[in-house]
Copies of this chain bind each other. A is one copy, B any other.
Amino acid sequence: MEDKQIIAAYSKTLKKLRIEKSISQEKLAFKAGLHPTYISLLETGKRQPSLSVIFRIAKELGYLPNEFVKKIEEAA
């Protein structure tokens, strides 16, 4: 799987799960201790999350990190 595919699958999955949870980008960023615009950068594929960001965002969306990563694999 190419990096581009992985990043696109992450962006798609993050947006879908965030909307399912009815939480704004800014609120999710705040709860995960991230810059207010960071979620937008992730959802548009302009940034890649680091390991700790993956863990933080998964938690705020109510998933274990491995569950969240599995959804990314499924979306790729």
Say yes or no for A6: interface residue by CB 8 A criterion.
Answer: yes
A15-33 Cβ-contact flags toward B at 8 Å (1 or 0): 0000000000000000000
Say yes or no for A70: interface residue by CB 8 A criterion.
Answer: yes
Instruction: Tell whether, in the assembled complex, residue B55 and residue A6 are in contact, meaning their CB atoms are under 8 Å apart.
Output: yes
A46-62 Cβ-contact flags toward B at 8 Å (1 or 0): 00111110111001000
A56 to B7, CA, bound (A): 12
Instruction: Tell whether, in the assembled complex, residue A48 and residue B48 are in contact, meaning their CB atoms are under 8 Å apart.
Output: no
In the complex, what residues of B have CB within 8 A of residue A67's CB?
Answer: 66
Q: Which residues of A contact B (CB under 8 A)?
A: 1, 3, 6-7, 10, 48-52, 54-56, 59, 64-67, 69-70, 72-73
